[in-house]
Amino acid sequence: MPVDTISTLEKGMPINSLVHHGFKTIYDIRNESIEDLRMIDDIGPVSAQAIFEATSKIITSVYKEATPKINPYHLSTDDLALLESIYRKWKLTDAVQVLKEAIETLSQQVGTDIQIAKRKKGFLGGLFQSRAEKEHVELTLRELNQEAHQATLRKVKKQLIHIHQFAVDQEQLKKHFIEKNAAYYTEIEKVIGFDATAIAEDLPNEIIEEIQAFPLDTTGLKVDLRYYQTFGAKYALYYKRTLLGDEMGLGKTIQALALINHLFQNDGGYSIVVCPLSVLVNWKREIHQHSNLNAFIFHGNQRASAFTKWQEEKSQITAGGVGLNIQAANIVILCEPQWKPSIEEQAISRAYRMGQSRNVVVYRLLTEDSIDVSMLELLGQNAGLFDLYARESEVGSLALNDYGEGEDESLKQKVLQLEKERLKEKVG
């Protein structure tokens, strides 16, 4: 941040004098006291006081409002040290646990014998010990040298050496950070703290408190949720009929997975994820990688056998392509808008087939400021989303009109044109 930023708070400051003395950024001047500033030519006591106060305000504002971000392609020494400490924690946690268990086992095996062995005396001290005590100490020493105890001791030494000599390759660390950056930021947030109200500034405090108090069950999840992901999952579970929309790359899939996992852990029924074929494999991979849930793909010629397997194993859900044939699920997640609303309606309706006895809940994932918005506006759904998917008594019976092929293509062209105009306006 350039040092002339001070001028936005205090007019008429001798910025040129600061630059002339090497203070080109706010970072450069951050530790200068009022007395230090007064030593600079052309800066008197009033200006020194004003510069000091303006700098303090800017620094406070940055710490309060700025979102720290680590650039994996321009890592400083501090960045590398921070990432390495997190990486070490993940990689060595299991090793430390093994070491702890080995030490506890060894302590239980030889703890008492070691106390007895400490009573062994030298030549002079042995003169004052009874024969029986000497024999007891010698017997204990022989027991301590048994192979079983030595094997446990070698295991302890091996784990200690592994921990102390554990090395982190910087290139491997960078690659790992790029692949798992959300997990790294989660660890950082655990240490520095996080203002939960900052993720929902537009909501009343009482609503935020109610959502935060919701007991999200993360049993079985193999990923640490970031605070906003936890909030999003809790919000959807608390209000049930919800649109989960966020920018690209912020982990909506993980939030939806946390929601599904919570319902599964609390006997909330089975779930269907209705998604395009292009992300089908990704959904299954994410489910297996980040949870203990079983995923069954109902798509193509294999959907009948997959459905049979799912019924036999009575396992948790999930993921879809086309031609769903499933009745036991009562949770439907729509990953993106469809050109033909009837396709979505069909997917939802299938959850009502064969005498569904539970409420069917529909979640819809949308991306803000994207082509999704243009599609919804032209489809005439933007204002009616909640009416369409939230009414418990009407969702199963709604029938949306199909578009003909010509109308479908025309609609796509209109959406693409709107998207081009939006991007042009955003860039220009």
The yes-or-no verdict on residue 346 having pLDDT over 70 is no
Identify the sign of the CA torsion 150, 151, 156, 160. positive
Q: How far apart, in whole angstroms, are the C-alpha atoms of residue 183 and residue 51?
A: 39
Give the residue from 84, 58, 46, 73 showing the smallest Cα distance to 3: 58
Work out the angle at residue 186's Cα, subtended by the Cα atoms of residues 182 and 188, and round it to the nearest 5 degrees. 115
Residue ranges, comma separated, of all CATH 3.40.50.300 domains in the chain are 195-427
Cβ(145)–Cβ(195) below 8 Å: no
Question: Which residue type sits at 313?
Answer: E
**What pLDDT is stored for residue 83 in this prediction?**
92
Question: Which residue type sits at 46?
Answer: V
**What pLDDT is stored for residue 9 in this prediction?**
81
The yes-or-no verdict on residue 47 having pLDDT over 60 is yes
Identify the bridge partners of residue 364 per DSSP, sorted by sequence position: 243, 334
Q: Where are the alpha helices (DSSP H) in 180-241?
A: 181-192, 205-212, 227-239
pLDDT in tens, 405-422: 455 566 667 777 777 777
- The rounded percent of the chain whose pLDDT value lies above 70 is 76
Residue ranges, comma separated, of all CATH 1.10.150 domains in the chain are 3-65
Q: How would you class 142 by CB atoms within 10 Å of its CB: exposed for 0-12, middle for 13-18, buried for 19 or more?
A: exposed
Fold of 3-65: DNA polymerase; domain 1 (1.10.150)
Which residues fall within 8 angstroms of residue 291, CB to CB, at 6 or more apart?
220, 221, 222, 223, 257, 261
Q: How many CB atoms lie within 10 A of CB 258?
A: 26
Q: Which residues of 305-340 are buried (b: 16+ CB within 10 A; e: fewer)?
A: ebbeebeeeeebbbbbbeebebebbbbbbbbbbbeb
**What pLDDT is stored for residue 351 in this prediction?**
63
Q: How many residues are listed for the chain in this entry?
A: 428
What value does the mean pLDDT of the chain take?
76
pLDDT in tens, 18-35: 888 888 888 888 888 988
Backbone angles phi and psi of 53, in degrees to 5 = -70, -40
Q: How far apart, in whole angstroms, are the C-alpha atoms of residue 300 and residue 322?
A: 7
Give the residue, 168 or 109, on which the prediction is more confident. 168
Least confident piece of the model among 15-24, 123-132, 164-173, 224-233: 123-132
**Residue carrying structure tokens 């936005």:** 8
The yes-or-no verdict on residue 383 having pLDDT over 50 is no
Specify the CATH architecture of the domain 195-427: 3-Layer(aba) Sandwich (3.40)
Q: For the chain, give percent helix, strand, coil, nearest 5.
A: 60, 5, 35
pLDDT in tens, 231-247: 888 988 888 877 777 65
Is 0.85 surpassed by the pTM of this model? Answer: no
Strand order across the 270-274 sheet = 243-245, 361-366, 329-334, 270-274
Cβ(257)–Cβ(302) below 8 Å: no
pLDDT in tens, 170-225: 899 998 888 887 788 878 877 776 655 556 666 787 888 888 889 999 888 888 88
**Residue carrying structure tokens 């469809």:** 338
